[in-house]
Amino acid sequence: MTDTVVVSQLGARMHYAVARILAKEGRLGHFFTDICGTKSWPSLLHRLPQSILPRPVRRLVGRVPNGVPPELITDFPLFGVRSAIRRLRMEDQAGEMSHAVWAGSRFSTLVAARGFHNAAGLYAYSGDALEQMRAAKKQGLWVAVEQMVAPRAVLEAILAEEMGRFPDWAGPPAKNPHAETFAARERAEWALADCIVCPSDFVRDHVIAEGGPAERCVVVPYGVDAKDRSDPTPRAPGPLHVLTIGEVGLRKGSPYVLQAAERLGTAVRMRMAGPHRLPEPVRRRMSRSIELRGIVPRAEIAGEYRWADVFLLPSLCEGSATVIYEALASGLPVITTYSTGSVVRHGVEGLIVPERDPQAIVDAVRYLADNEDVRATMSANARRTAASHTVDRYGARLLDVLSRLHAPHGDEP
């Protein structure tokens, strides 16, 4: 058995950071994913002019794990296409959860059937890992599972409460018949895992509260590359520019952003960039106070940060939102919540406000609008903090955790 690690991952979250980190260190035993732009038929489409491809196809073939050798990648493109088609048919939260259960179990079964390439360990993601974790443990591998967001039971409780508060956003609360199935998968994965990697204290606290083993939970904050972020442009006269990036919806605290925007009026310009499935009356109401940008292509997202003076994300449940790392790297003071799982410290890189409190958002925005010196100091602090949360620093923290896992399983103490 080597000291390498197999990574399995659905989708391209964090631009395949874990696989790329291990590949760079020569520690990647193999990488499993659903669709990869350098493998199978997607690699053929990747050579065509991207302008002639439909946007959904461009997004699929654009999944390229740079730095991961193609010979170390196994993809499952037929499964990936089937999954993408099922996603297009999802109409509500129950449909999303049903798909997550199906996709996670199917993908995990496919990985388990392919074997683990003589590796020492397996790194997989919560909800998508159970079958392969069982197979890996039988073969003597250590297994690590990343809990990307708070446990499903916690998220379901939060969403049910918000649906009760804002039925015009998503309809009245309804029991999700697939949520407990997904939550049971998570609990079974925690029981098997040698290590549960949590991106924030918020996630770790809730894993433990839901019965996860505290002694096997470890917090490893994420990181983003800051080298492509330009210096902030001087603020133009006029209203403060406040930016939110992410899916517009209940989990992100969007109703409270709307309430804050309505109270602030013309004192600020607020912009939200991200997908949404809002009922038309809600969308019209939001559009009167907030500029809804919709999905912004990744290549253009830096322009959104340049537009902003302040970044706002009052989420109710996250793992550790990478957009906040990007905002810090762009030198933006951040207004956020504990539940966002960020590395922002109150009064240093930004302000931490209570969840579900639009007036606290209003007060924080007004404070930053009225205190240019405070914004400048927070901007400088934000860049310094971002410099200690790059992908390389994230990789060093993660490798340290995985090396400690390998020690009891390897040939040497």
Does 235 fall in a domain?
Answer: no
Rg (CA), the chain: 21
Buried b (16+ CB within 10 A) or exposed e, 162-185: bbeebeebbeeeeebebbebbbeb
Q: Note the pLDDT of residue 412.
A: 41
Domain span at residue 362?
240-387
What does the pLDDT read at residue 407?
A: 64
Query: Do 374 and 405 sit in the same domain of this protein?
Result: no
Q: Which two tokens stand for residue 47?
A: 């050579």
Please tell me the predicted confidence (pLDDT) of residue 95.
79
pLDDT number for residue 229: 56
Mean pLDDT calculated for residue range 371-382: 96
Q: pLDDT band for position 88 (50/70/90)?
A: confident
Residue 70 has pLDDT above 70, yes or no: yes
In this structure, the answer to whether residues 245 and 269 fall within a common structural domain is yes
Q: In the predicted model, is pLDDT for residue 408 greater than 60? A: no
In a domain, 178, yes or no: yes
Report the pLDDT averaged over residues 47-75. 73
Statement to judge: residues 359 and 382 lie in one domain: yes
Q: What is the mean pLDDT of the chain?
A: 90
Residue 343 pLDDT greater than 90, yes or no: yes
Residue 50: is its pLDDT beyond 80?
Answer: no
pLDDT grade for 84, boundaries at 50, 70 and 90: confident
pLDDT score recorded for residue 299: 77
- Whether residues 253 and 362 share a domain: the answer is yes
- Give dist(CA 332, CA 371) in Å, integer: 14
Read off the pLDDT of residues 201-225 as tens digits, 9 standing for 90 and up.
999 999 999 999 999 999 999 998 8
Same domain as 258, residue 109: no
**What's the CATH number where 214 sits?**
3.40.50
Domain shared by 103 and 79, yes or no: yes
pLDDT tens column, 299-321 = 789 999 999 999 999 999 999 99
What pLDDT sits at residue 53? 54
Q: Which of 23-37, 39-53, 114-128, 384-398 has the lowest mean pLDDT?
A: 39-53
Is residue 304 located within the same domain as residue 399?
Answer: no
Please state the rounded mean pLDDT for residues 111-138. 97
274 & 373 share domain: yes
Alpha helices, DSSP H only, in 234-371?
254-264, 280-289, 301-307, 322-329, 358-370
CB atoms within 10 A of CB 157: 14
Would you state the pLDDT for residue 138?
97
* Mean predicted confidence (pLDDT) in 112-137: 97
Q: Percentage of residues in the chain with pLDDT exceeding 90?
A: 74
Which tokens in the block code for residue 279?
Answer: 């009922």
Look at residues 192, 171, 365 and name the one whose alpha carbon lies nearest to residue 263: 365
Please classify residue 51 by burial: count the beta carbons closer than 10 Å to its beta carbon, then call 0-12 exposed, 13-18 middle and 19+ buried. exposed
Alpha helix (H) residue ranges in 201-252 = 201-209
pTM beyond cutoff 0.75: yes
40: alpha, beta or left? (left if phi > 0; alpha if psi -120 to 50): left
Number of domains within the chain: 2
Residue 14: pLDDT over 80:
yes
Whole-number Å distance between alpha carbons of 244 and 268:
13
Q: Which helix (H) or strand (E) holds 268?
A: strand 268-273
Percent of the chain residues topping a pLDDT of 70: 89
Average pLDDT on 124-128 reads 97
pLDDT for 216-267, tens place per residue? 999 999 998 865 555 556 666 789 999 999 999 999 999 999 999 999 999 9
